[in-house]
Amino acid sequence: MRAADVANTLLDWHRNQRLPCSGMRVLALVYYAQGLYLANTGSALFEDGIYAQDTGPLVPEVARQVGFSRDADLCFRLTLHDGRWRQAARRVEDPAQMEFLHTLASSYQSWTDVQLFNSTHAPGMPWHQVKVFYGKDFEGILIPREMLQDAFLQMIARSPRL
């Protein structure tokens, strides 16, 4: 599965709930989805890597399409580009994964985009760890899945509702 499939599933959920969904929210929720899924199952939800950028942790393919705005409500579906053509990204089909994503979106619906964004940069979170370790050269560094899993396991231990 690709991160764009996860993003489309989250966008669909927000549309179905008649809730706005900005690029900033999608990026944060995709990051949270991967981290929490790793922590809960021990395996990755999607194959794409999450990279540290000045704007935060992101999947480049998703970030290119949704941007970083917290003002715009996204009303489109993401596509995938393989270098030759674009194809529509799917949405998650597995019922358990879909339920996981719906629960995630529901759990964070009361958080503002800025709260979600700020939480991805919090001390101890993988983006912050990479920034501290690499200093000014941290941009574009792949955040290791093990680091994501460990950080989200610790987050779950502090907040069992996750």
- Domains in the chain, number: 1
The pTM assigned to this predicted structure is: 0.86
Q: Which residue has the tokens 């899924």?
A: 37
Sheet with 141-142, side-by-side order of all strands: 56-58, 51-53, 141-142
3-state secondary structure at position 80? strand
Residue 95 belongs to domain spanning? 3-158
Q: pLDDT 10s per residue in the chain (162 long)? A: 889 889 888 988 988 888 888 888 889 999 999 999 999 999 999 999 999 998 899 999 888 877 655 555 555 545 444 444 444 556 677 889 999 999 999 999 999 888 998 999 999 899 999 999 999 899 999 999 999 999 999 988 887 555
Would you say 27 and 119 are in contact if contact means Cβ atoms under 8 Å apart? no
pLDDT for 84 equals: 44
Reference 70, options 32, 39, 26; nearest CA is 26
